[in-house]
A and B are shown apart, each in its own frame.
Chain A
Amino acid sequence: MMQEIAQEATRFIDLNLITVGYLFFVGFVGGMVSGFIGSGGAFVLTPGMMSLGVPALVAVASNMCHKFPKALVGAIKRAKYGQVDLKLGLIFGVFAEAGVLYGAHVQESIKKSFGDAGSNLYVSVAFVVVLAIVGSFVLRDALSSMKNSDDHGEERTAKLARWVQSIHIPGTMVYFKSLKARVSILFIVPLGFATGMLAATIAVGGFLGVPGMMYVLGAPSLMASATELVVAFVMGMGGSFKYALSGLVDIRLVMIILAGSLFGIQLGAIGTTYVKGYTIKFVMGTIMITVLFSRALMIPVYLAQLGIIQPLPELAVTWLKNGSFAIMIFALLLGAFIVLRALLKGMKAERQLTPQVSLKRSEV
């Protein structure tokens, strides 16, 4: 059955220049955002591929398979800048993988019981609830950090994180360099699991993983976003293999998206060396809140399909679908714009500073 879907998909897609260019561009912009905030660039790709006529399962599988090589390249790059906590990423990743498997199982049972509309409604409600709570918190914290941070941009450890770090449970304590403290693994289990479940539901686990590492464990935002790339690599590799077992990965789509996203992820990773921690939070919060509106627009469509509210006119459904997709693209472009602006501004400032330094040295 799965192989039939995959074969149908490969026959279905016509890889013309426009399709290739579209996937390359979305991959590039998504890669840039992922390199900067650790995740968040992939949520447009699944609906983007589906709009080209790729079946949903093949789109999800191909998106997953493009994520792990991208995360690997980003993690290596950011490890060179000393921003990755490999130990935390691997431990977090293992529990996130369990969450992915459970999340996929939940999705399947909802689909069986309530059909496609029920499954879509579940995804949209998860999007709206999680992004509303976490996104507004991250954005509020980013704005207050901008006002209160000192010249070095040092971030204060959250109250909850200080409490978590103060709890000592014998036999479960592990030292993490990003936290500069020992934390019980029992706090990482639910965080990782929830991240994985969210990844299986909305394709972006990092919207929970990065804030979890920042506010619950106490990692600085630069390190949390870089470590999330390790988590995405672990989750993505396991997930890709699971989908590939059913023959659902379209390697051509994966390669086209990767062609663009690996250019983007390098830029995003370089961008992190020019900014202070709160910029990461700001980009993440802004994207989360914008995407929230995109998914909220689709809720009435699914409610009507399930017969909970009165059926909507066809024109309204088309407008809501197009509006939702347009807001999603806008969120990604907005994130990429902030990243590029920060990168170019930082490079310009450093170039202006360099001749002055060398002049002073020559005077001495």
Chain B
Amino acid sequence: MRTSNKKLKRGRIVRMIGYGALTAVIYAAVFLNQGTVMLYFTKGGFLAATLPVLTAFCISFSHGGFTNYFWQVMGIEASKKKLQQQKQERPVEREQIRPQPRLRV
């Protein structure tokens, strides 16, 4: 039990570092080339308009992943009690019962 917990925590730390590194790369790429980035991103028009929107999507993926694992590593997680309750409240899907052929004598 303790080993699986350790494994889970290590996995979370590894993912946090991975997402964190990706976020750092994106931020560094933008802020180290501010002049060029602002020149193209504020040009206007359809193609230039996709640049800030796409960048925002990339950040939501990388930084969103990082912050998710960050709070998990810090021990701040959703209430397990309530989530279990919600899962129980969902209707249980029934397996479809196939009519079995029966021999009638």
Listed in ascending order, the chain A residues whose CB lies under 8 Å from chain B are: 2-3, 6-7, 10, 65-66, 68-70, 72-73, 76-77, 81-82, 237, 240-241, 244-252, 254-255, 258-259, 262-263, 265-267, 270, 273-274, 343, 346-347, 350, 353
**For A237, A241, A244, A255, which residue has the most chain B Cβ atoms within 10 angstroms?**
A244
B13 to chain A, nearest CB (A): 17
Q: Looking across the interface, which residue of chain B has its beta carbon closest to that of A276?
A: B82
Docked CA distance A265–B38 (Å): 27
A346 touches B79 (CB 8 A): yes
6 A-B pairs with the lowest CB-CB distances in the bound complex, closest first:
A69-B60, A247-B44, A244-B49, A73-B64, A247-B42, A273-B78
A277 to chain B, nearest CB (A): 12
* Contact of A245 with B46 at beta-carbon distance under 8 Å, contacts A251-B30, A262-B64, A262-B67 already known: yes
Docked CA distance A248–B34 (Å): 15
**Interface 1/0 per residue, B20-50 and A, CB below 8 Å:** 0000000100110010011001111110111
B56 touches A65 (CB 8 A): yes
Docked CA distance A26–B53 (Å): 22
**For A68, A76, A82, A249, which residue has the most chain B Cβ atoms within 10 angstroms?**
A249
Docked CA distance A252–B32 (Å): 11
12 residue pairs bridging A and B, Cβ less than 8 Å apart: A3-B43, A10-B38, A240-B52, A251-B41, A252-B37, A252-B38, A255-B30, A258-B60, A263-B70, A266-B68, A343-B76, A350-B79
A216 to chain B, nearest CB (A): 24
B56 touches A2 (CB 8 A): no
A245 touches B45 (CB 8 A): yes
B79 touches A73 (CB 8 A): no
Q: Looking across the interface, which residue of chain B has its beta carbon closest to that of A236?
A: B56
Q: Looking across the interface, which residue of chain A has its beta carbon closest to that of B62?
A: A262
* Contact of A252 with B31 at beta-carbon distance under 8 Å, contacts A247-B42, A259-B63 already known: yes
Docked CA distance A10–B42 (Å): 9
B49 touches A82 (CB 8 A): no
A247 touches B43 (CB 8 A): yes
Count residues on chain B whose CB falls below 8 Å from chain A CBs.
41
Give residues 50-105 of B contacting A (CB, 8 Å).
Answer: 50-53, 55-57, 59-60, 63-64, 66-68, 70-71, 76-83, 86-87, 90
A350 touches B80 (CB 8 A): yes
B78 touches A69 (CB 8 A): no
A259 to chain B, nearest CB (A): 7
**For A6, A73, A267, A347, which residue has the most chain B Cβ atoms within 10 angstroms?**
A73
A267 touches B71 (CB 8 A): yes
A69 touches B57 (CB 8 A): yes
Residues from chain B with a CB closer than 8 A to the CB of A247 are: 41-45, 48-49
* Contact of A245 with B82 at beta-carbon distance under 8 Å, contacts A240-B53, A252-B30, A258-B59 already known: no
Residues from chain B with a CB closer than 8 A to the CB of A250 are: 38, 42
Residues from chain B with a CB closer than 8 A to the CB of A7 are: 42
Task: Choose one: B34, B41, B42, B53; the contact of A237 (CB below 8 Å).
Answer: B53
B56 touches A68 (CB 8 A): yes
Residues from chain A with a CB closer than 8 A to the CB of B50 are: 241, 244
Docked CA distance A77–B71 (Å): 13
Residues from chain A with a CB closer than 8 A to the CB of B31 are: 252, 255
Docked CA distance A246–B44 (Å): 5
Q: Looking across the interface, which residue of chain B has its beta carbon closest to that of A82?
A: B86
Docked CA distance A196–B3 (Å): 51
A274 touches B79 (CB 8 A): yes
Apart from A240-B52, A247-B44, A266-B68: 4 A-B pairs, beta carbons within 8 A? A68-B56, A82-B90, A252-B38, A255-B30
Q: Looking across the interface, which residue of chain B has its beta carbon closest to that of A10?
A: B38
Task: Choose one: B49, B78, B81; the contact of A241 (CB below 8 Å).
Answer: B49
Docked CA distance A66–B71 (Å): 21
Docked CA distance A65–B56 (Å): 7
Q: Looking across the interface, which residue of chain A has its beta carbon closest to that of B80?
A: A350
A266 touches B59 (CB 8 A): no
* Contact of A3 with B68 at beta-carbon distance under 8 Å, contacts A65-B53, A81-B83, A350-B80 already known: no
Docked CA distance A254–B71 (Å): 22
A160 to chain B, nearest CB (A): 25
**For B44, B66, B79, which residue has the most chain A Cβ atoms within 10 angstroms?**
B79
Task: Choose one: B55, B64, B90; the contact of A251 (CB below 8 Å).
Answer: B55
Residues from chain B with a CB closer than 8 A to the CB of A2 are: 44
